[in-house]
């Protein structure tokens, strides 16, 4: 914390004298200044970040280099408000933004999925109609940039109270290129990837391939993923742009299970083998095979009107060996949108940006439940159909007054319907049908004022809705006569947010030369009704009465012309249940009383503080060399609503080095090495919320990787 405070004070102390500096023209300074990201598209239109009344972080191509490229935890560590933790060091991560996503931690929900955060790849939604997101199709190696909109985005996107993660795989360069990379590391990690792109009469074409295998650190935690992406972006004419995107993935990972505190302390490498939750005997695993094809079309009608559309289809074949059951999922996910945009002027001083659109996503398919024998599929037990449809209408008007002030008014109507049907159960044909619909209208108001060309302040007020995910609608055993849990209601929230952004170009920073500075400060308060809480490790869910989240986020990036870059992301939060009483019908005798009152307790799974500091040096006298170091710290928190299961704070140190050498004109080779958790800190990378037992036998801790290393070689050809 002392390091964090020192850097924060340096930033604060320097603001008063920095912005009055005059710009000097120099090639070095221009390159420093030009490196700053200025636009964001996650707001459903291209806007300068200073004009968006929301908290936004952009991960640039430079930030994506020299990583293991396995999970989102590596590339989102510098996003304030976002806590991303790799459960076992592979694709299976726990991602939380402003408290949303924390409940995705348990036997049914934690593996490979997230909640309340909408994820897009090239405009194609990875988030399913019920709000769940799997990360199988997200190829970090093939990504060119990532936008993270950290504010409540429900008014434009629907089930996105925690924000948006918008990933682009479209190469930045228009020139032909070919890149091959191989990487290997600790615990049997091996990764091979290939990327290529060119520009022809059809437009910009690119392809990427990635294959990664990992033995894992903990027992029974091996994984293997293969990913393929293909894209074509074509400017058909001056007014029409077409994008075609295809992706496929095969992802299998085994699950070690959570440990008790005693197991974690004695041997954090072990898998959970205490009966009946023996993860090794059951060969607990997930095997996902899926594909995606999407088409986007943007067409300008006249000078002020634009119509955009998108359509996609995603077939999925998923297998699960979990909880003494083997399951086959055969699903198809289809959807699309149509958006109308009008940009014009009402008068000389009043501009109007109007957006209206329709979204629809539909997913359906069969689930076959089999008995599990020694980790293998046995005879059929149950056959079900599970479907969901998410329909939304949205409208937004942005009025700009002069070049200083703008106001955004938006609203969205959502209707989400679940379809459940049981066809066969316990050896007998049956036809049990259930349908449940949730709907809501969500408003949003945002204000932005430009203090300077490189500085703005903003405020926004908005509502949010997040429906229970499909697996969360299962009832507890005490309500087994219901197909859909009657106790669950959508999470409804109201977010109050203010923020300050600045991106000054500094002529001389503390005598160290020209620099580009980017600062993002956001403060928020979120009032939530019906917060959905997992019980018995995620076997079923219940709604808390009222929850409050208050937070302060600071993000800063200082880039000098001498090649030194200092970045920080600091988050302080306070998350507690305001009104929360749980009846014995939910936990039975486990409560020891007719009811328990958890009002004023800290919300489970959410630390009060987490921060990252990164220093990077690319010396001007040796531009081919790059060295960086990163310290990440996460404060302590509780894994249960009763606040009886503490999770200790931790800090980990990572460092990396890379060197690139030109072989011939257009052909270069880059070698890089990275060390993670260099101090070999013993820590819990993730927890299961509200495990079965709240005492010493509670299994809830998932250990993070100890010290580990990776080495890689990249060969790149760039054409003219």
Tens digits of per-residue pLDDT, 389-424?
A: 999 999 999 999 988 999 999 999 999 998 888 888
Alpha carbons 166 and 147: distance in angstroms, whole number = 5
Cα 503 to Cα 34, 36, 568, distances in angstroms: 11, 8, 15
The domain locations on the chain are 2-247+257-718
pLDDT of residue 537: 60
Instruction: Name the band, by pLDDT with cuts 50, 70 and 90, for residue 35.
Output: very low
Residues 39-83: tens digit of each pLDDT: 677 677 778 888 889 999 998 877 877 777 788 888 899 999 999
pLDDT at 12 over 50: no
What pairs with residue 322 in β-bridges? 325
Cα 452 to Cα 56, 224, 404, 499, distances in angstroms: 19, 50, 8, 15
Residue in 575, 595, 573 with CA at minimum distance from that of residue 584 = 595
Alpha carbons 336 and 296: distance in angstroms, whole number = 9
Residues 302-311: tens digit of each pLDDT: 888 999 999 9
pLDDT at 596 over 60: yes
What pairs with residue 714 in β-bridges? 181, 670
Residues 336-393: tens digit of each pLDDT: 999 999 998 888 889 999 999 999 999 999 999 999 888 889 999 999 999 999 999 9
What pairing do the DSSP bridges indicate for beta strands 118-121 and 164-168? parallel
Alpha carbons 223 and 92: distance in angstroms, whole number = 10
pLDDT at 583 over 80: no
pLDDT of residue 94: 84
**Range list of H helices, 247-367:** 261-266
Per-residue tokens: 194: 């290939």
Class at the top of the CATH hierarchy for domain 2-247+257-718: mainly beta
What pairing do the DSSP bridges indicate for beta strands 564-579 and 581-583? unpaired
More confident residue, 519 or 101: 519
SS3 content of the chain, % helix, strand, coil (to 5): 10, 55, 35
Sign of CA pseudo-dihedral 138, 140, 145, 148:
positive
Residues 507-515, mean pLDDT to the nearest whole number: 84
pLDDT of residue 676: 94
Say how many C-beta atoms besides its own lie within 10 A of residue 38's C-beta.
12
pLDDT of residue 592: 52
Q: How far is CA 458 from the centre of its chain?
A: 24
pLDDT of residue 159: 79
Q: How far is CA 157 from the centre of its chain?
A: 15
Instruction: Name the band, by pLDDT with cuts 50, 70 and 90, for residue 486.
Output: confident
Residues 211-234, mean pLDDT to the nearest whole number: 95
Cβ burial, residue 35 (10 Å; 0-12/13-18/19+): middle
């Amino acid at each position: 914390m002392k390091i964090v405070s020192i850097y924060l004070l340096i930033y604060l102390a320097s603001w008063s004298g920095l912005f009055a500096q005059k710009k000097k023209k120099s090639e070095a300074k221009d390159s420093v200044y030009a490196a700053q990201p200025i636009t964001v598209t996650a707001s459903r239109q291209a806007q300068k970040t200073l004009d968006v009344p929301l908290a936004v972080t952009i991960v640039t191509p430079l930030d994506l280099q020299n990583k293991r490229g396995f999970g989102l935890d590596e590339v989102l560590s510098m996003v304030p408000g976002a806590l991303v933790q790799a459960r076992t060091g592979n694709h299976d991560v726990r991602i939380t933004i402003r408290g949303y996503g924390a409940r995705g931690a348990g036997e049914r929900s934690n593996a490979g999925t997230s909640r309340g955060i909408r994820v897009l790849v090239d405009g194609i939604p990875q988030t399913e109609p019920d709000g769940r997101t799997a990360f199988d199709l997200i190829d970090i190696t093939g990504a060119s940039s990532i936008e993270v909109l950290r504010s409540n985005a429900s008014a434009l996107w629907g089930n996105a109270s925690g924000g948006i993660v918008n990933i682009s795989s479209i190469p930045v360069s228009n020139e032909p290129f070919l890149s091959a990379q191989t990487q290997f590391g600790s615990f049997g990690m091996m990764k091979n990837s290939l990327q290529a792109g060119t520009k022809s009469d059809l437009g910009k074409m690119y392809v990427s391939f990635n294959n990664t295998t990992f033995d894992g650190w903990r027992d029974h935690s091996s994984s293997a993923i293969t990913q393929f992406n293909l894209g074509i972006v074509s400017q058909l004419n001056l007014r029409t742009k077409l994008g075609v995107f295809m992706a496929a993935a095969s992802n299998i990972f085994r699950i070690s299970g959570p440990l008790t505190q005693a197991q974690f302390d004695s041997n954090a490498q072990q898998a959970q083998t205490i009966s009946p939750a023996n993860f090794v005997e059951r060969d607990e695993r997930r095997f996902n095979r899926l594909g995606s094809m999407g088409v986007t079309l943007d067409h300008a009608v006249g000078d002020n009107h634009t119509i955009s559309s998108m359509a996609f289809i995603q077939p999925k074949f998923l297998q699960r060996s979990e909880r003494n059951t083997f399951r086959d999922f055969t699903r198809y996910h289809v959807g699309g949108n149509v958006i109308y945009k009008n940009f014009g002027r009402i008068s000389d001083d009043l501009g109007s940006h109007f957006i209206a659109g329709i979204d629809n996503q539909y997913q359906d398919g069969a689930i076959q439940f089999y008995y599990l024998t020694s980790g293998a599929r046995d005879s059929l037990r149950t056959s079900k159909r599970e479907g969901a449809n998410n329909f939304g209408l949205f409208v937004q008007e942005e009025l700009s007054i002069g070049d200083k002030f703008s106001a955004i008014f938006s609203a969205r109507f959502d209707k989400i319907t679940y379809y459940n049907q049981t066809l066969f159960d316990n050896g007998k044909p049956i036809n049990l049908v259930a349908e449940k619909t949730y709907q809501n209208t969500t408003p949003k108001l945002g204000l932005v004022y430009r203090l300077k060309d490189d500085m703005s302040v903003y405020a926004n007020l908005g509502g949010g809705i997040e429906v229970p995910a499909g697996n969360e609608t299962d009832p507890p055993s005490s309500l087994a006569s219901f197909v859909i849990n009657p106790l669950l209601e959508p999470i409804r929230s109201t977010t109050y947010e203010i923020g300050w952004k600045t991106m000054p170009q500094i002529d001389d920073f503390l005598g160290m030369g020209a620099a580009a500075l980017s600062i993002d400060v956001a403060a928020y308060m979120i009032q939530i009704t019906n917060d959905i809480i997992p019980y018995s490790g995620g076997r079923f869910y219940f709604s808390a009465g009222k929850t409050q989240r208050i937070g302060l986020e600071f993000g800063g990036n200082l880039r000098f012309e001498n090649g030194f870059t200092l970045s920080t992301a600091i988050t302080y939060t306070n998350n507690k249940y305001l009104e929360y009483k749980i009846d014995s019908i939910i936990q039975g005798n486990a409560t020891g009383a007719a009811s328990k009152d958890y009002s004023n307790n800290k919300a489970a799974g959410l630390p009060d503080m987490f921060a990252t500091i990164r220093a990077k040096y690319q010396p001007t006298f040796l531009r081919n060399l790059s060295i960086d170091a990163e310290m990440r710290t996460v404060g302590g928190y509780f894994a249960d609503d009763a606040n009886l299961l503490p999770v200790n704070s931790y800090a980990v140190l990572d460092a990396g080095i890379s060197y690139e050498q030109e072989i011939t004109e257009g052909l270069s080779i880059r070698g890089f090495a990275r060390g993670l958790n260099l101090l070999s800190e013993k820590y819990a990378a993730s927890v299961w919320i509200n495990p079965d037992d709240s005492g010493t036998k509670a299994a809830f801790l998932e250990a993070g990787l100890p010290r580990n290393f990776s080495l890689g070689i990249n060969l790149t050809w760039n054409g003219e």
